[in-house]
A and B are shown apart, each in its own frame.
Chain A
């Protein structure tokens, strides 16, 4: 019996080809566009989040107690080296790095600008956040007073590979000290503070430049998936400020939340309109066949089979629309995932706001599963109203009805 009903449902769905095709195309086009947009937005957000974490604060960062209020070298962690080594041995810690930062002035022969010197250990940074991936041009080379420079800072000071730049600041003894550096590489992290102000130099060089002990650091950052780690560290190092990524960058959390809200609203509205579309077609399709259903009831077919047939018809249309939409969606997302949306015409603007010039989309299974559920639900709900009409049919009256 079921197979017969399925066959009838299948054939009826395509009885009015134009009508059915229109609905299928509607579902497919709406779905694929929505998926593409969602993938792009998610890709942007995830990329930014990921890069921000990898370029600076990781999942958890430790500072000296007063550092965040007064980011000066007098508020650094003195025994940072041993703390770092201890943390590295802890459970759930994927990688640890420490940096020594100081604000000051960067000058070239022609221009000057506010800048921050960032003392790093390349090997540590590589393990921590794949630092080499941030390299925009040049090489990760510190030889012969080499330094790496943030991309926006390079633009401000008109620095190119090989340019000379002098960094001046007050060292630990209160003296104003300068160091001459040569730009070996330009770094883009999409972390705005770093891209606008950072000059990366080997940490030992920075410590001696600032007249500090080489075990000193202004921040210790940890990459970890362990949700309980922060609490553990706060207890263990109560003399330090232990903060999570989102605590340090509440804006990132807000951006994430806004992204979720926006995507949900879009999804809801699109699915609602799709529902209205399916409703329209199914309603008329059923009304057209009132006589036929009346006859079927008359010859003894049970209502529940008719209901099943109609629901199947709607599901078939919805399903085919979903499949077509998925194919387009996958193609769209694949293209955007591999080749990306090229906005290099707006390169300067994109970089200044911390975005890359080419936006890549993510593909998530949830896009498809969520959409599938929504479309199937819309299909079933859309036939409830017309079904009520059929339930109330009196076969004799229907057959008798004027043509």
Chain B
């Protein structure tokens, strides 16, 4: 049957070429498009993640939903001691975040001010790397403020200018102080850069009565893939119902969901193309076979069973599909690999979409052999399904009817 299938393919060139071409196109489309989609999502997520959010964060329950000083973590040391014993936790740092009003001579603006452990913070987030002028913080930087460039612009200040701060301390009492702008950063995340400032915890704790307290604890892990296991270990070790341990998947849920919606739309568009192509492949297969009904009739008369006919159709479509895939896969894989290493750059896209949290002008692709394999698998499946109707059509004829078919 196999050699007969081969000969049929070579003989009926129209159908063969069309099927191979269409399969080739759909395979390329599928692999490249999915790779681009996955890549851009991954990069959006990663870019946003490494700016400030942690792989895992520990909160007092209700802090995220309700907020306020009532839900601060009040005995930080007790928790951090336990964290040191957990396998997979690379390091941790604590943050005390509050909102206040910062005023310069010219202007005032709201700001999130976070007291951070300067050295550790530089390893947990990218704020130090984002330094554009001045200095980053240290444990001794006192009332030095490290501010996002968007906020700096809003307040119309420059390095070494003084700012008045007004806010509430951890016991709800009134807090006020004078800060000095020592450093400016730009992460590229518009929202973050225009609303955040950082100060050393050593200094801030005194002002805020925040010693041994934290808004939350930010944890860095050895391996992101392990994050669920580590979270479970932490929960067990802490054994405290009033605390919640969250992974980045929950913390960045909004973005994760948005990616999913985007993916859904992407797959729907792809599905449209694949369905149309599927129909045409089936039509060509059907037309080819229905014009050979007499031939099949004779073959059935001399003893060719239905199983053999199915085998024949299967071999034909399998050979055609494999040929197309064999050519398409290396090309598609190379394209996706190339653009993984050399992302497409659309200048200005991050500026245009900054409100959506797009940070970079790069659109990297995602090269994932597993994804490519299941993509190809789908194409194979569709092509194989395309012979079902033609096969049923042949089966509906008895050998005699088929031989007399006009």
Contact = CB atoms under 8 A, between A and B. Distances in A.
Indicate if A touches B (C-beta under 8 A).
yes
Interface of A: 16, 18-19, 22-23, 25-26, 29-30, 33-34, 37, 70, 72, 103-115, 157-158, 168-170, 176, 192-193, 250-251, 254, 266, 269-270, 273-274, 276-277, 280-281, 283-284, 288, 343, 346, 348-350, 352-354
Given A104-B109, A107-B99, A158-B66, 11 more contacts: A18-B286, A18-B393, A33-B272, A113-B99, A114-B195, A158-B67, A270-B273, A274-B280, A276-B22, A277-B279, A346-B257
A110 B70 contact: yes
A19 to B, nearest CB: 6
B261 A346 contact: yes
Contact of A110 (B67, B110, B284, B287): B67
A348 B288 CA distance: 51
Contact of A284 (B101, B253, B254, B287): B287
Contacts of A112: 98-100, 110, 167
Nearest to B167: A112
Interface in B246-274: 253-258, 260-261, 268-269, 271-273
A258 B238 CA distance: 50
Given A37-B268, A107-B99, A274-B276, A23 B283 contact: yes
Nearest to A280: B284
Contact of B261 (A70, A266, A349): A349
A383 to B, nearest CB: 15
B286 A22 contact: yes
A96 to B, nearest CB: 27
* Shortest beta-carbon contacts, A-B, top 4: A110-B68, A112-B99, A105-B110, A349-B257
Interface stretch (B3-11, B203-211, B307-315, B348-356): B348-356
A109 B110 contact: no
Most buried by A among B167, B254, B356: B254
B110 A106 contact: yes
Nearest to A16: B290
A26 B110 contact: no
B35 to A, nearest CB: 18
Contacts of B50: none
Interface in B106-132: 107-112
B101 A29 contact: no
B272 A26 contact: no
30 contacts: A19-B283, A19-B287, A22-B282, A23-B283, A26-B283, A29-B276, A29-B279, A30-B272, A30-B275, A37-B268, A37-B269, A103-B154, A105-B100, A109-B68, A110-B68, A112-B98, A112-B100, A114-B194, A176-B108, A270-B276, A273-B280, A274-B280, A280-B15, A280-B18, A280-B284, A283-B14, A284-B291, A288-B291, A348-B253, A348-B254
A352 B258 CA distance: 9
Nearest to B29: A269
Interface string B381-406: 00000000100010000000000000
Nearest to A105: B110
Contacts of A103: 109-110, 154
Contacts of B70: 110
Nearest to A270: B276
B376 to A, nearest CB: 20
A19 B18 contact: no
B280 A111 contact: no
Interface in B50-91: 65-71
Nearest to B109: A103
A273 B276 contact: yes
Contacts of B99: 105, 107, 111-113
Contact of A349 (B109, B110, B154, B255): B255
A274 B283 CA distance: 11
Contacts of B109: 103-105, 114
B277 interface: yes
Given A168-B101, A170-B107, A277-B283, A111 B272 contact: no
B276 A26 contact: yes
B103 interface: yes
Given A266-B272, A352-B254, A353-B258, A192 B355 contact: yes
Given A192-B355, A283-B14, A114 B276 contact: no
Interface of B: 14-15, 18, 22, 65-71, 98-101, 103, 107-112, 154, 156, 166-167, 194-195, 253-258, 260-261, 268-269, 271-273, 275-277, 279-280, 282-284, 286-288, 290-291, 352-353, 355-356, 389, 393
B110 A113 contact: yes
Contacts of A353: 258, 356
A280 B356 contact: no
A270 B277 CA distance: 9
A350 to B, nearest CB: 7
A283 B18 CA distance: 13
A315 to B, nearest CB: 18
Contact of A273 (B271, B277, B353): B277
B42 to A, nearest CB: 17
B261 A343 contact: yes
A56 to B, nearest CB: 13
Most buried by B among A23, A72, A105, A170: A105
Contacts of A343: 261
A254 B271 CA distance: 25
A16 B291 CA distance: 11
Contact of B279 (A26, A158, A350): A26
A274 B279 CA distance: 9
Contact of A169 (B100, B108, B156, B353): B108
A353 B352 CA distance: 13
B280 to A, nearest CB: 4
A398 to B, nearest CB: 17
A343 B268 CA distance: 14
A212 B71 CA distance: 39
A280 B15 CA distance: 8
Contacts of B261: 343, 346, 349-350
Contacts of A176: 101, 103, 108, 166
B356 A19 contact: no
B305 to A, nearest CB: 23
Nearest to B68: A110
A352 B65 CA distance: 17
Contacts of A277: 279-280, 283-284
A44 to B, nearest CB: 9
Contacts of B389: 22
A105 B156 CA distance: 17
Contact of B110 (A115, A274, A284): A115
